[in-house]
Chains A and B, each alone.
Chain A
């Protein structure tokens, strides 16, 4: 069992990707109370944009910079022209809208990029491996882990330590009051949704070289991200991080130890959490 550290790192890399996806989902849910079913579709859109930018310019870093920006704009437009309109019809309609949006984005991707897998061949030091403690490990996976740590830290700092974070949290609690204090609440919500979309785009770019880019990648990660949120607790950033690691490691070691059961293990864990603590590990009681 000399491979255990390697499998642990594999699990951690996947956990990092999961965290990048579910953190945006948690952000939007925690702050806007909107469960965005289109989140994974936006992530897939990020991956496809990244593929095209990489193909045209040949710079991975450029796509890492541009895709979140593009997704930010898309997210802002979606919030302004679609989500805001159905907000008054209530929760159900918001869910239905994002669900329909996910469906349309998937179909558009099939239309423009084709219904087959694409892969990105990176160049430079990201493709190499490093050796430490007698383990040879690809740099790219370590890079993913680093990205997740940075994003998690940044999100924590922005939400809890800055003025912008205070405004957003206040707007969630009492949007009318915040509005009366002279802050454009609509703009705040638009920004939150756009940041969530940008995060998903970022995750998509990161996922491109690790997994293949194909039209089913959204639904694959969406379910895992949902399980992360259920286990971690709704709207909790720390919970999302911890349960990402749990799910990542469970999948990684599950494949190693019980290959035929690996898929079911995650759901089993979810069912146990639902029975024992329905609100999730870090969730507040409803």
Chain B
């Protein structure tokens, strides 16, 4: 766990807020679309990293939550007339929480490779259901929806305007990301770290590690479902691609490009990934190949990702300062 300098933290928060507000005003709607996508994927990646980076659980099935969230929103908006936008989002979170509890209960006795394999297998089950249950999910055709307007007490916001939706996403998803950050600093969040470092010891002290893991798994599942719900609202569409293994690969790439060691890593990863994808897909149809190569190189040579490089550079730059007396709080491993 890296202890942050509070001034540093405030600065980066202010910078992020400015960045988020300036973008829609300064740049055109195309940039707004990209940034909305980034915010949604940032939450998805952050939730994934709570599993991978914080608890050391490698899941290849995170797309089942993301996809279920997206499908629940799409199906709810399609079938329940007059459903408010937050109703659809809430339903997604409830659905993914239930699924997280059930699947987590089945899988969490296993760890490591076995867990990774099982999550992949269950993801395949969800994919099969989504592609075969034509009457509900629309099969390969997918479901088309339109964003309902947001009905606040005093006014109604027109959600079909991308800038309005961008601010809605920024506030909702952004605050959930902040909540995740807060979560990592709670007792529960710290417990999760201990789980990764030394589970035997934790059991010895008297923690029920299985419960901790189940809560974390369900929590990250619900977060991914929340992100998935926004994904469906953003694209106004849900198809089998949201629940396929490619969606897991995407989040894995983001997390690894950004770095799984720090909380901000996946967010950075989402930014890099979306812009890189936007850039590469203009040049070549084979951009996934380049992404894959980047991923392998990251795993081989830069296991800490971009955020790892940045913190290393920071350390190098400020090394001189720390020598003057102060205790090094740079990297305190619990």
A interface residue numbers (CB < 8 A to B): 29, 33-35, 37, 82, 85-86, 89, 91-93, 95-97, 99-101, 103-104, 107-108, 110-111, 219, 222-223, 226-227, 229-230, 234, 260, 263-264, 267, 270-271, 274-275, 278, 286
Closest to B102 in A: A271
Q: Do A97 and B117 form a contact, CB below 8 Å, given A104-B293, A111-B286? A: no
Q: Count of A-B contacts with CB under 8 A?
A: 94
Residues of B41-67 at the interface with A, using a CB-CB cut-off of 8 Å, are 52, 56, 58, 60
B262-300, CB under 8 A of A: which get 1 and which 0?
000000000000000000000000101100110110011
Q: How far is the CA of A99 from the CA of B286 in the complex (A)?
A: 18
Q: Does B232 contact A (CB under 8 A)?
A: no
| Residues B128 and A264 in contact, CB atoms below 8 Å apart | yes
Given contacts A107-B288, A107-B289, A234-B114, contact A100 B120 (CB under 8 A): no
When A226-B121, A264-B128 are in contact, do A97 and B113 touch as well, CB less than 8 Å? no
Interchain Cβ contacts under 8 Å between A and B, 13 examples: A33-B113, A37-B60, A82-B296, A86-B303, A96-B58, A97-B296, A100-B292, A104-B289, A260-B132, A263-B132, A267-B125, A270-B121, A271-B106
B295 touches A89 (CB 8 A): no
With contacts A95-B58, A111-B286, A271-B106 taken as known, whether A103 is within 8 angstroms of B295 at the C-beta atoms is yes
B118, CB-defined interface residue at 8 Å: yes
Instruction: Name the contact of A108 in the complex, choosing from B107, B128, B249, B289 (C-beta under 8 A).
Output: B289
Q: Which residues of A contact B117 (CB under 8 A)?
A: 35, 226, 229-230
Complex: how many Å from CA A41 to CA B87? 42
Q: Which of A33, A96, A227 contacts B121 (CB 8 A)?
A: A227
Q: Report whether B106 and A275 are in contact in the complex, using a CB–CB cutoff of 8 Å.
A: yes
Residue B252 CB within 8 A of the other chain: yes
Confirm or deny: B28 has a beta carbon within 8 angstroms of a beta carbon on chain A: no
* Cβ-closest 6 pairs across A and B: A35-B113, A107-B289, A104-B292, A223-B124, A103-B292, A267-B125
B242 vs chain A, min Cβ distance (A)? 16
Write out the residue numbers on chain A whose beta carbons fall within 8 Å of the beta carbon of B128: 263-264, 267
Is the CB–CB distance between B300 and A223 below 8 Å?
no
A216 CB to nearest chain B CB (Å): 10
What residues of A have a CB within 8 angstroms of the CB of B116 in the complex? 35, 95
Q: A92-B56, A92-B58, A99-B60 are in contact. Are A274 and B118 (CB under 8 A)?
A: yes
Residue of B nearest to A223 (CB): B124
What is the CA–CA distance of A234 and B56 in the complex, to the nearest angstrom? 21
In chain B, what residue has the closest Cβ to A93? Answer: B299
